[in-house]
Amino acid sequence: MTVPAQIEPHHKLVLRLLLISAFVVILNETIMGVAIPRLMVSFQVPASSAQWLTTAFLLTMATVIPVTGFMLQRMNTRPIFILAMSLFSLGTLAATLAPGLHLLVAARVIQACGTAIMMPLLMTSVMTLVPLELRGRTMGNISIVISVAPAIGPTISGIILNYLHWRWLYILVLPIALGALALGARRIQNVTTPRYAPLDVLSVILAGLAFGGLVYGISTVGTSAGPNGLPTWLPLVIGAISMVAFVGRQLALQKRNGALLDLRTFRSRNFTVCVVLMALLMGALFGVIIVLPIYLQNVLGLSTLHTGLLLLPGGLLMGLLAPRVGRLYDRVGPRPLIIPGILIVSAVLWAMTLLGPKTPVGYILAGHIVMSVGFACLFTPLFTTSLSSVPPMLYSHGSATLSSIQQVAGASGVALLIALLSSRSARLAAQGVPPVEALSAGIRSAFMTAASLSLVAIVCIFFVQRPKPATAPTPGG
């Protein structure tokens, strides 16, 4: 008689503490979404400047996450956790004191450094401590963190901003972050075995130039350089060249197991397809999370409170569904969940391309709820399938690669949709179109781009297979 797979009790404690802490730090990825219209007025800046509060956060995560693959191999669980939560708490404190936009962005960068460490730590711990047959339900719990925390960020932000100054977004988070730091420092046990891993500084520099150049270049789409400014295409070229150099460097270093990101994870077709899908979905999701509040407040005239409350049901539903989707995944595999999921998301995104100044709020509420169901059917299966498709010795690299590409995609989605929104609305306003009509047209252009990304995802979804137990790659191969 086969003994049912179980998670050790002390491992459960570690995973719970990591989940709670990850929820706190991931919440801050989108907590500024509803606040951006308010900050545009407070700091007297356009949307293209204010969006860097989210874009810089995601971009920093993308740049720092590759280094966590090295850290997770060299350091033990407890010191990495303390480092992550200390950085996040420091950034939160700096944000409460920031006098202007530039210093607030800098504080967000510090926060992002802590968040960047926390997510790969959580993922790698799950893949190390949880048996294969229980990973679906465990990833379902993680999906609550990954999908619900960003989803309810706008709601929490809207409620706070309706009654308090924007600084309270950070004042209220600070004691929670410090409490998580204190509890984790006292209770988390070391559950991994550190081993020697080299850190290639050149790879870190190339990663920063590649990710930063690409995202910054995307943010300038549709704009023109000033009389003394650099060409808008230059950051994209620098980013593309740096990315080619980064990939070449990793391919050379992995032959002696010294890569910052070991690209042997992409030998798994399942992993590769899932990474592409996650990039498309995160680009669309984070772009919509930022654009939708601008539409609700600046076109329909909703308050921050009403905006936050309108987005709440979808976020809560995503949280309720995540564990159930995880249990279903353990029984039926990924495809029965992800195929209807992507079709639902795509349908809602295309419906959003019809939004205008007179669209009933009830339609938007219903669309957001339905779209949240679709995303709930996607995240848990894709996370579980991708990481379960790589050999155990590459779990930390697979987690870091997946997380990095997620953040780059999210930052790129925000930058691209805001750039399209800003350029289209500015062009129409210059032609004499009323401001609300011009902004509404710009928002429709942004949603059209997100909907187009979903069509590519529909094609990719049929290549995802249920993972089989992976075997270790040939050393240096």
Chain segment 103-121, per-residue pLDDT in tens: 999 999 999 888 888 877 7
pLDDT band (50, 70, 90) for residue 472: very low
Alpha-carbon span 75 to 339, nearest angstrom:
39
Q: Where are the domains of the chain?
A: 9-461
Please give the pLDDT value at position 3: 43
pLDDT band (50, 70, 90) for residue 78: confident
Whose tokens are 């919509």? That residue is 288
Does 194 or 289 have the greater pLDDT score? 289
User: How many other CB atoms sit within 10 Å of the CB of residue 280?
Assistant: 23
Q: Is the pLDDT of residue 347 over 90?
A: yes
Please give the pLDDT value at position 4: 47
Find all residues with CB under 8 Å of 84, minimum gap 6, and list them: 21, 25, 114, 115, 117, 118, 121
What's the mean pLDDT in 389-409? Answer: 80
Please give the pLDDT value at position 107: 93
Spatial contact of 113 and 134, defined as CB atoms under 8 Å apart: no
Please give the pLDDT value at position 324: 84
pLDDT band (50, 70, 90) for residue 248: very high
Alpha-carbon span 108 to 414, nearest angstrom:
16
Lowest mean pLDDT among 245-249, 314-318, 453-457: 314-318
**CATH number attached to the domain at 9-461:** 1.20.1250.20
What's the mean pLDDT in 150-161? Answer: 76
Q: Is the pLDDT of residue 229 over 80?
A: no
Virtual CA dihedral for 199, 201, 206, 207, nearest 10 degrees? 40
Report how far apart, in Å, the C-alpha atoms of 161 and of each of 4, 107, 374 are. Answer: 49, 19, 29
Q: Is the pLDDT of residue 223 over 60?
A: no
pLDDT band (50, 70, 90) for residue 471: very low
pLDDT band (50, 70, 90) for residue 475: very low
What's the mean pLDDT in 428-454? Answer: 91
Spatial contact of 286 and 54, defined as CB atoms under 8 Å apart: yes
* Most confident range, picked from 7-11, 31-35, 46-50, 376-380: 376-380
Virtual CA dihedral for 137, 413, 457, 118, nearest 10 degrees? -20
Rg (CA), the chain: 21
Of 418, 306, 453, which Cα lies nearest the Cα of 54?
A: 418
Please give the pLDDT value at position 397: 77
Classified as helix, coil or strand, 122 is helix
Q: Is the pLDDT of residue 1 over 60?
A: no
What's the mean pLDDT in 446-454? Answer: 92
Please give the pLDDT value at position 175: 92
Q: Is the pLDDT of residue 422 over 70?
A: yes
pLDDT band (50, 70, 90) for residue 92: very high
Please give the pLDDT value at position 26: 74
Q: Is the pLDDT of residue 222 over 60?
A: no
* Most confident range, picked from 128-142, 177-191, 338-352: 338-352
Q: Is the pLDDT of residue 304 over 90?
A: no
Please give the pLDDT value at position 13: 74
pLDDT band (50, 70, 90) for residue 196: low
Please give the pLDDT value at position 474: 43
Does 27 or 300 have the greater pLDDT score? 300
User: How many other CB atoms sit within 10 Å of the CB of residue 253?
Assistant: 19
pLDDT averaged over the chain?
81
Q: Is the pLDDT of residue 217 over 70?
A: yes
Please give the pLDDT value at position 303: 87
Please give the pLDDT value at position 221: 62
Does 146 or 40 have the greater pLDDT score? 40
Q: Is the pLDDT of residue 369 over 90?
A: yes
Alpha-carbon span 378 to 405, nearest angstrom:
17
Report how far apart, in Å, the C-alpha atoms of 22 and of each of 80, 81, 117, 142, 408 are. Answer: 13, 10, 10, 9, 19
Please give the pLDDT value at position 2: 43
Q: Any long-range contacts for 328-334 (C-beta under 8 Å, 24+ apart)?
A: 328/136, 329/136, 329/137, 329/139, 329/140, 329/380, 329/381, 329/384, 330/133, 330/134, 330/135, 330/136, 330/137, 333/381, 333/466, 334/381, 334/382, 334/384, 334/385, 334/464, 334/465, 334/466
Question: Could you tell me what percent of the chain has a pLDDT over 70?
Answer: 85
Structure tokens at 432: 């004499």
Please give the pLDDT value at position 364: 93
Find all residues with CB under 8 Å of 389, minimum gap 6, and list them: 268, 270, 271, 274, 467, 470
Does 255 or 300 have the greater pLDDT score? 300
